[in-house]
Chains A and B, each alone.
Chain A
Amino acid sequence: MSARILLAAALLAPAAARADWTEHLALSGFAQSDLRFDVEDYRGPVAGKGYAFSANRTDVGLLLQMEPAAGLSAIVDGRLRYRGFVEADRLVQTTERDLVDPFSMQLDRAFLAVKGKPWKWLDLRIGRMVQTWGTADMFSPVDILSARDLSDPLDYTRKVPNQMIQADAYPASWLSLSAVFIPVFKPSQLPPSAGLAFAMERDPRGCLAAAPAPPLGRADAQRLAALFASTDPCALDFEDPQVRLVLPDNGIADAQAALRAKLKLGDLDLGLTYYYGRFSFPVAYTAVAKTAPSDDPARTRVQYVAEVVYPRMQVAGLDFSYSAEWLWDVGVTGEVAAIFPEEVDFALRAYVGDQKVFGATSVNVPSTPFLKATLGLEYTFASWLAANAMYVHGFFDEFADAYGLHDYVLVVPRMSFLDDSLKLQISAILDLTDLSKQENPELVWVPVPGAELSAGGWWFAGSTRPKDPIDYGSREKFGQKAAGRSVAYLRAKVTW
């Protein structure tokens, strides 16, 4: 009898434990299908090749939230991505499923959060996560702790997750303090089109038509151009540059640290931030062009190796959001970041064989502090119509290098119809510095709660050619090929 009781207890115990455990679990997620079509044929790597599907993707995301005890929370947030294009190029590879239907796993977040320990006013968070600071969306100059994930330009809010330790203190109801330590630097993930920033332009005959201008002074740039001008462009086999990363070491001095104070002062929310770390987008550092033997004695093979670096910087930031009746209840957000960069010198050398034929250096990033800023307005005109407008000084990928900081105006009217089942949003951003622009009209239909069907366009307007071929800073922001191709898209998403 006792053996039976023990057996029953042993069998029942796990079930009881499981029941308790599942009460502290929450599982949610989504499935999303993306189909995109390039709607032009000149902005990609090869002119004339376009009007084709450029995305055929399925994502399945799962978010697991666990609260095994009061004040203890764990998050696991990942996604499975099926890329949708065959990556096999040999017959034998078609026997492998992951080449015929390639996929990847991404773990966006996995962290532990503890509340009120060891002191009541302190929260701790440790693990893989992303940080979002500042009051402005997207164009936030103080939101620099987590690198951007621009692997999908349309999913522009994503960030590269990283291991972090975060402490949040709440000494008063109007004040909170945060400290974040990030041991290892991770750069931003760039869009697939990013490599075109360094690509050589060739004419239909395959002759060199243009090379990207390096960040040199005008006199040196002209000298370099003259060097190539004396050579028959059709006799040059100019390889696309190999661009190498100069990543920081993993020492303590290369870690990132940030502090933030948030104050609530009546209608004003104010944030003060300090960041020590690195700019997460690459800055040109060195370049070496060298001729190499060619199979064809009438032609010259040119190898081009460049390096990019992620400059160290300190950033002091201020951000606010404000709304008051005297201001007609318009929501105002603003951010200013004072950036103190380390100097980055750029050096370029050219060799014919072992003989140096050109050499120049320039200061690509001076150590002079500079500002990035955002000012935004938000207003609801009617229950079906709202709009945001924003002025931006310095895009999130811009630094005070030879390209410089541009000024932008962003306008986003949003309309909703049919009980919010149909939403139209038109996002348009204009670069005031070079007058290139980018537009993103999108129509979203919610046929039933939890399901969204979206159709839209992601269009660039501007010249792919720089106004001045020897000026590094004359590339148009949204015109250059590195910005990516204009696409039309269709997306279906189910959230549960």
Chain B
Amino acid sequence: MRQDDVSLDNCLKCSDCNTVCPMLAAHPGYPGPKHLGPELERLRREGLPCDSEWLEYCLGCHRCDLACPNQVNVSELIAAAKARHRKPFIRQVRDFWFARPGLLGKILSVAPAVTNAVLAAGAARFGMSRIMRITSERSFPPYAKPDLPSPQASLRASERLLFFPGCAIRYNQPELAKTVVALLQRNGFAPEISTAGCCGVPALANGDGQEARRRARSNVEAMDQAVENGATIVTACPSCGHMLKSGLAELLEDDPELEKRAKRIARHTYDLAELLMAQSDAGKLNTKFRKTDLQLAYHAPCHQLSQGIGRPWYHLLRQIPGVQIEDLDAGCCGMSGTFGFKEEKYPVSMAVGQRLFERIHEAAPKMVASECATCRMQIEHGAKVQAIHPAEVLLQAYER
């Protein structure tokens, strides 16, 4: 946050942000985004003590930003306050690791079989819950060797594309990277896989502003050259996409040169479905679909909405003959990345998701499609329905 940021002055106290906050709806004690953002920042600039444990409860969904009629950087103000917030030691240690899924992934994917066995063991989970305050209610996503497809630059490329996989795909679901690459190839692209690391969203969400800025800087450096050479960046994780599109530049505001490069990256970043939808609009989408009888429900992740690109996956999946898809439109799932894993936050995470779980039961789909890895975790855990990335549905629908 720049020192001369005066966006807090824009707040008219109208509470539009509060009306869309999923945490406020689920937790009556939560003071809401208006208070935690612009209101506290104003008092902080007076020099008053303004720390609040409630800052840890912000899900980072950015719905407040979308609702604000007056361009207040609500969630950015909250994130800055979160980064200054002081936590008890155990939560500090836990959140240090939660802030670094890249580092964690590197270590845990060395011997995935061992990792997965330990992460599933009851005794280990009991200890983690007691000591590290990580809930034993949930299962961890399994880890895998980061076995990503190698760059495929030699194909007859129509455009140069760089796929930014993000940690969940790299370390937990590397087969999804193959799906994405295949899907792009089916549509005439020749994607390469970026070596850039964690996007920084988990760091920001866990109140580690410094790590988030480190991630932002390193990612700008990793992708800047390619973008300057005309490459387009594609994400399949909406949180990574959100970060590349607006978070990077915000984090690097203090360095005008880096900020400029971050903005260039932002201009060249597309969500996978956004890109395919653009192809579709231009009549260039490969539509050689088989008839696929499938009853689906679609959940739009918050960070998909915050990108302001509509719901491209929903519209893409509807083009597959035989697919019946219902847009659940039931708000935030409550998982918010690592948030739902925190022992003390688990109940409220589930409470936030309740509305979505109920909608899923009403819709009774065979599967739920959603492009966010942690939304899928929450849906499988809370609604007991299989959840998949919509890219998989689309790829499977193509004729062999």
A associates with B: no
- Which residues in B have some Cβ–Cβ distance to A below 8 Å? none
- Which residues in A have some Cβ–Cβ distance to B below 8 Å? none
